[in-house]
Every structure is written in C-alpha cells, then in structure tokens.
Amino acid sequence: QVLMVLITVLLLLQLFAPSCLVLDLPGLKCSFLDFSLSGDYLIGGLFPIHTNVNVGSSSRPQVDKCQGNAQFNAHGYHLFQAMRFAVEEINNSSTLLPGLTLGYDIFDICLDSANLQATLDLLSQEAWPYVEVKKDLSSYRARVLALVGSDSSTYSFTIASILGHFLMPQVSYESTNERLSIKRLYPSFLRTIPSDKIQVEMIISLLHKFGWTWIAVIGSDNDYGQQGLQNLRYRASKNGICIAYQGVIPASAQQMRETVKSVLQTRVSIIVVFSTKQLATTFFKEIITQNITGKVWIGTEDWSIATLVSSLHDIKNIGTVIGASVKQAQLPGFLSFEATAVKSQTGEFQDTCDSVGSENYGAGTMGCNQECHECQWLNLDNMVTPNIQAAFNVYSAVYAVACALHVLLECDLGECSKEAPRPWQLLKELKQVSFKLYNTTIMFNENGDPPGGYDLVIWDWTTAQWSVKVIGSYSLNQGFEIDADKIKWHTEHNKVPRSVCSEECQPGAKRKQTGVHACCFDCETCPGGTFLNRSNLYSCQPCDREHWSQEGSEMCWNRTIEYLSWTDTISLMYLPGMALVFLLTLLVAVTFALNLDTPVVKSAGGRMCFIMLVSLAASCCITLCFFGKPTKLKRLLRLPVFISFTACLSCIAVRAFQIVCIFKMAAKLPKVYDYWVKKNGQTVFIIVSFLIQVVICMARASSRPPVPHQNYEIYKDQIILDCSENTSFGSVLVILYIGILSVLCFTFCYMGKDLPENYNEAKSITFSLLIYFISWISFCTTYIVYQGKYIAALKAMAILASVLGILGGYFLPKCYVILLKPQLNTEHFQTSIQSYTRKRSDQ
C-alpha cells in the first residue's frame, strides 16, 4: 500500500511526462531530439543528457525538469546516440528479429527525482498511466520490455529495487557498484560493464606490483565512491597495504583545502582517487591550485580517460596518472552516425560556424568564427575514440535485449512469434544470452556481471596533445598483466616511485609495529634457533629440535647426526693401540702362567693375578663398544667395564692389604692376621666386592634401561648420538663404589711406603693407581669443557690408559724380573721379608 501511494503521488506530479524532450544546446537552434521511436516492442533508456540542475525552491513537492538552466552533458549525449545507433542496426537486420521492429522511450535523467519519475513512467500500463502492483506478476505487462540504464550506481539502486519487484530486466552500462550483484536484493539487474570488485582487484594488484604499501584514498561522496572506498579498504588490509589517509571529496572550498592538506601530511606518494569525473575535476582543480606535483594518481574508470579532467590547465604537472578503463572495443560506423545526427540538429549551423569533419567530430570542439555572435562553444566531452567503450556498453546492452527477445519469440524458425512476452520471461532468456559483437563475448554470469575486465592505462604527455596508453589489463580469467616498460614515470631517470611507511626489513628480521598502521615498524633480527616465516612477519618462529638456524634466518636446516664412526681418523688411530695393549695383556698372562710357581708370581698374588689380567683384557675389549653408531646392545655392553675394573681393583686392594698385614700387622695383630688367613679373607673380599658392583649395575640397568642418547644441547647444528651417561642415583652409586675401592687401594699402598726397597710391591701398586687416577681426572676435566662426538673416544682412551697403567706399573716389572733377571726370581724375596721383619721386631 505504501508503494502504491508513492507511485500515485509521483504520477500525479508527473502528469503525463512527454516522450519527446527539448534539448537546448548552444548553437543548435533549440531543435528537437528524437527521444522516442515507435516499434513492435519498446525498450526504455535512461541517459544523463544534462547535469548540475539547479533545483527550484518551492514549498511543495515537485519533480524538477532536466532542462532550462541545466548544463549539457556531452557524455550522456554520446551514450544516447549509441542506443539509437544500436536500435537502427537491429531494425535494419534481416536475421535478428526478422519482421519485427524495436522502439525506444528514452529519458533524460539529471537527478534522482527525474530518475524515479522515468522509472515509474516506463513501468506504467500502455492504456492508462498507472502502475499496477499484483501478487502474481506472471501476467504483468508494462509499456517497455526492458530498461537500458542508468549511468550512476546511486540511481541504479533506486531503479533496481523497483524493477526487481516486477522482474523487469535492467541492463546498466556504467553502474559498477559491487552491491548491485546481490541477486536477492536486485534480481533483475544486469550490466555490460565489470563491477567495482574487478576494478579494486586491479588496483590492489598494481600496488603489489610496485611495492606501494603506504597510500591515500580519496572518494566521491556518493554510492560509487563510498562503496569503492569500502571495498578498497577491506582488500588493502588483506594484502598488507596501509591507508594513511581516507576521505571524501568535500563540497566547500575550505574543506577541500583541508582535505588536500591532510593528504600531504601523510607523506604518501600514491593517491587513489575513487570518484566520478565531475567530483574528480573539482578535486584536481584544488591540487593544481596548491601546486602539488610528484605524485602517482591511480584513477577509476569513470574519470581516468575523461577529457573533463585531462583538459584542466596545468594538469600534466601533477605527476603520473594511471587508471582503469573499460576494455577497448570497436564500434564501426558509430562516429559517422553520430555526426549525421548532429548535422541534422544543427540545420544551417555550418553556414555561420566552422566545424571539423564528420569523422573527426569527436576529436575536440566545434569552433566558431568571430562573426558568429550567437554561436557558443560546444565542448563534446568524451566523444573521442578511447571512450567508444562507453558507447559499446550501451550498444551491447541493446543487442543483449534483442537477442533474448529473439530467442523468446523463437525467431530462429524464420518468423517471430506474435505473442506478447512478459518481462520475467525476457529476464530468464536475457540471463542466458551468449553471443559475440566485434570479437567481444556478451554474456552474464550468475550475478548478472559480464565476463570481461578492465584495461590499465596511463596518461601520456610525451606529445603536445594528451592521450592514454594501455599498459596492462585485469580479468578474473587471465589475472593481472602489465608491461612496466611502457610506463613513463615523472621521476628522474624514470625510476619507480617509492611509497612505504617503513622500509622492508632485512631477510631474517621481524617487524615490530610502532604505530596504529601495520606498515609502520622497526626491525629486529631473529636470534639463532629461530626463523622468520613470511606468513607472519611480526614474530620469529622457533625451529624444532631436529633443525637449526643461524641468527637472521628465514628457514631452518636439518641438524647433522654426529657419532664416532669406525672410519673416523681417531678411531683408526685408536684401534692399533688397543690391539697392542690387549696383546700385551695376553703375553703377560702367558708369562705368568708359565712361571706360576716362581717366587715373583707368588709374591704378585699367584692365581689372583689372572683375575686381574682377565679384567684388564675384558676392559680392552669393551672399549670397542664406544665406536660406531650407538645402539642399545652397545649401551648394555658398556656396563661391564665398571664390573671388570671393580674385580681388578678388588684384587689390588686385597694385595695391598696383604702386604701391609705381612710387614706391619702380622706381629702386632697376630689374631687378626690368623683369622684373615684361616677364613680365606682375600677370596671372600673379592667375591663380595665384585657381587656388590654387579648388583648395583643390574639395578641401574633395570631401573633406567640403557638407550642411545641424542644430545641436542652441545651444538646448535648437530645432534650428537652417543651413550653418554645421564646423571642418576645408579650412575653416581657405580662411580662412587669404584672410587671407594680406588681410594682404599691407594691408602693401603701408602701405608706400605717404607717397605724394603727390594720388595717394592706397594710402590708398583701406587704407581699404577696414580696413572689410573690421572687418566680419569683428565677425562672428567675434558668432559666438562667438551661433550662432542669424540668424548666416546676419550673415554675409551681413559679406560685403555688405566689398563696400561696397571699393566705397566704392576705386571711388567715382574715380567722384567721373570724374563730378564731370572737370578732374582729365587728366595730373594723371602730373605728381604725376613730381614725387614727382624728389623721391625728389634724396634
């Protein structure tokens, strides 16, 4: 009901709007233009023949006319003629709509009220000027089948909202607002110009191409500019581009100066102007007035090739202008048709005024001589060849409607049906059309948008006349393409301008934001062990344990796994030494076995010596487990080295204790000595000591099973694979126990330091233990400062040095006596003992 009331009021105000409008053109002698044409089927057209209407001051609602004081819009006139040209071609065609003619009803729209008035007029019934609103629109019929227009997104929102209710097709030629693609809001809206989404994507791609991340954005204060700014801001934030300033082109001169001042304060070099040509002209006038130069201006399709802007005085000094343009198209014969139409309107105009040739009509202005006082300058703006694209959009829109009607009326059979189609039927066919016009595919996707894109153009001032040059393009199918070599920058040496808030960080340095804009930041180098992931430039990501990185890295590298291999130089050097010590141990064992009953062997411990030699030989063999890749088996086989040394040290401790007992305690403590001998104390002590260490090692192995250890802490770029012992109660107990035995041996030996010179058992043991202590102290010291892969070799060397020390300090002197001094291997030792004992008794 509200809609019906609104429609009724507007129609009463309209009172039968005329279909033929008077066009007051300076110098055209107030001739009438053909705004309507009869035909079998009518198409509506909305074109801005006038602009900047001075709205009358009236106390009652009224519809202002687009005449009188209105300013002539040559661009709208240009599009108006394109529709007439298309209809004339279709009516003269023998294949498209054969036997039928198209007519049109065209309206001059200069403001929103005229736009709404025209829409309601086109929706009205043929017999009576009213709009009938029904629940069922299947039988609805209006004066026209479809509408071509409008040029403004703001106007199209109004039109599309109304026509969508009646499912009447609307094909716009210049409305680019992205919201018009929402079908649930505007179900009958289609267009032959790409939406602003494509245009914004091209601008973002251009900014990315040259690394411009610090920009200012200015938009016109209408739906076109505001929606464009919103889309640009959203996509810029998603692509790491910061908008230092965003504003609209104000109406007052004072506000305009403040806006320009705000842009300059941001210190940007790149300024995107998302505006209509009329407001862009106003903005650039202020730019020229303030003598702003050295900038890059990125324009939208509405003004980037408009002579209304490019004809401003000193406009070429503002810098480099790059903009979007509808892809170039061909429209043969149109300029001739338009020139003929102008000639028919001017009548005798050429007798009094000079004019250019018909084909060059669109090149500039129609000049007047000095004697023609009534003639005024007529600047036919945008009627130059580059703006043929705008005319082609109108031309293709008319052809799309005609092709859909051709299919709906089944004209392919040679004769069209005479049925009266409904608007919703035509809309259904219109959404499915697909044909070519001069190598350009005309079709609509599910959103009613064409498949094409935009050309990227640059203003060229290399010659005296302004021109535009295509340097690239953008479409959803082919993406962004640009030939940067064609760009002539305003800078010295044709250098690409820079526009960033902060210079890009060096590789491997993270950003630390310093303000509200993400593009303003300081740089901090990522420390070692971290890397800078390009997906997040504001934090350093840590490498995992298997990888490493240097300071300031952008990636992590695999750590090398290091262990003491058999082919390593130190391994090859160690093996002969170990074999030599093992062979020497065997030779000593054979020597002792052959001289088992001699005094020297008996004094060394007799059969107990073989326990010691077997322990030393076992320790030599166990050192082989320290080479090659560590395994669980090798880790288990390393444990007996403590057991074998325990057995050897137990024997040494017993032997040292016996020496002390014989020479010092036998006389003073005879009962103790007798008890030790009768109870076979040395055997018991060795067995118990050995079993204690075995139990400790087995308990340790069962509580914490030995496994190869991967050490990540020693080197940042290596993983040391070894069987190093982790500090635990079991490991401390094993070392502590073997340390107690070593100290016990050394203590007994020290007590026997004053034994007879010829009987130097204690001295031999002391020397062996000193080598033993020095070997392990050296290893522990080295282990504190170095824990690389060669620590296993050092440990094996410490074991071998201990074996060699005991072998050389205790056994080799006795072998020397057995083999080289056999005269001493007699009762010499008994004589020394008896002599020493008598001496101690006398004291």
Summarised one tens digit per residue, pLDDT across range 390-399 is 889 999 999 9
Which of 433, 429, 427, 454 lies closest to 183 in space, CA to CA?
427
Q: What confidence score (pLDDT) does residue 278 get? A: 85
CATH class of the region 196-331+454-494: alpha beta
Cis peptide before 38 (omega within 30 of 0): no
Q: How far apart are CA 767 and CA 444, in angstroms?
A: 102
Contact present, 74 and 338 (Cβ < 8 Å): no
C-alpha dihedral over 133, 137, 141, 144, to 10 degrees?
90
- The low-confidence residues of the chain, meaning pLDDT below 50, are 1-32, 53, 55-58, 127, 348-386, 837, 840-842
Of 95, 182, 677, whose CA–CA distance to 447 is shortest? Answer: 182
Of 323, 353, 339, the C-alpha closest to 457 is 323
Nearest by Cα to 446 from 175, 166, 160, 182: 182
Q: Hey, what CATH topology would domain 569-842 get? A: Rhopdopsin 7-helix transmembrane proteins (1.20.1070)
Task: Answer whether 2-194+390-443 and 196-331+454-494 agree in fold.
Answer: yes
Q: Which amino acid is at 663?
A: F
Q: What is the DSSP string of 81-93?
A: HHHHHHHHHHHT-
First-residue to last-residue Cα distance in the chain: 141
Q: Which residue has the tokens 């039109």?
A: 159
| pLDDT attached to residue 462 | 81
The pLDDT, as a whole number, for residue 545 is 87
Residue 204: per-residue pLDDT: 94
CA distance 749 to 755: 10
Question: Which DSSP letter does residue 586 get?
Answer: H
pTM: 0.62
Can you tell me which residue has the tokens 């030494």? 577
Q: What is the DSSP letter of 460?
A: E
Q: Give the integer Cα–Cα distance in Å for 388 and 337.
A: 13
Give me the DSSP letters along 625-690.
GGSSS--HHHHHHHTHHHHHHHHHHHHHHHHHHHHHIIIIIHHH-HHHHHHHHHTTHHHHHHHHHH
User: Which stretches of 409-520 are DSSP H helices?
Assistant: 423-430
The residues, any chain, with a CB within 8 Å of residue 394's CB and separated by 6 or more, are 79, 82, 83, 86, 148, 173, 192
C-alpha to C-alpha distance for 772 and 795, rounded to whole angstroms: 13
Residue 475, SS3?
A: strand
Give the neighbor-by-neighbor strand order of the sheet with 146-148. Answer: 36-37, 102-108, 41-47, 146-148, 170-172, 189-191
User: What is residue 71's DSSP assignment?
Assistant: E
> What confidence score (pLDDT) does residue 20 get?
33
Phi-psi region of 683 (alpha: psi -120 to 50; beta: other; left: phi over 0): alpha
Closest CA to 381 of 255, 466, 488, 261: 466
Q: What residue type is 275 in one-letter code?
A: S
Non-local CB neighbours of 128 within 8 Å, separated by 6+ positions: none
Structure tokens at 591: 């020597």
Residues 6+ apart with CB under 8 A from 691: none
Burial (CB count within 10 angstroms: exposed 0-12, middle 13-18, buried 19+), residue 313: exposed
CB 607, CB 638: distance < 8 Å: no
Q: Are 661 and 676 in contact (CB under 8 A)?
A: yes
Using alpha carbons, select from 298, 280, 286, 170 the residue that is nearest to residue 224: 280
Single-letter amino acid code for the residue at 723: C
Rounded distance between C-alpha atoms, residue 311 and residue 280, angstroms = 12
Residue 9 tokens read as 């009021």
- Using only C-alpha atoms, the chain has a radius of gyration, in whole angstroms, of 52
Going 785 to 790 to 794 to 795, the CA torsion angle's sign is: positive
CA distance 251 to 257: 11
Up-side HSE of residue 766: CA atoms within 13 Å toward CB?
A: 14
Give me the pLDDT at residue 63, please: 55
Q: What is the dihedral of CA 465, 80, 423, 129, to 10 degrees?
A: 150
Domain boundaries, the chain: 2-194+390-443, 196-331+454-494, 509-558, 569-842
Q: Cα separation of 123 and 145, whole Å?
A: 9
pLDDT at position 27 is 32
**What is the model's pLDDT at position 121?**
79
CATH class of 2-194+390-443: alpha beta
Amino acid identity, residue 379?
Answer: N
Backbone dihedral angles phi then psi of residue 839, each to the nearest 5 degrees: -65, -45
Contacts of 354 (CB under 8 A, 6+ apart): 366, 367, 368, 369
Place of tokens 């018909």: 358
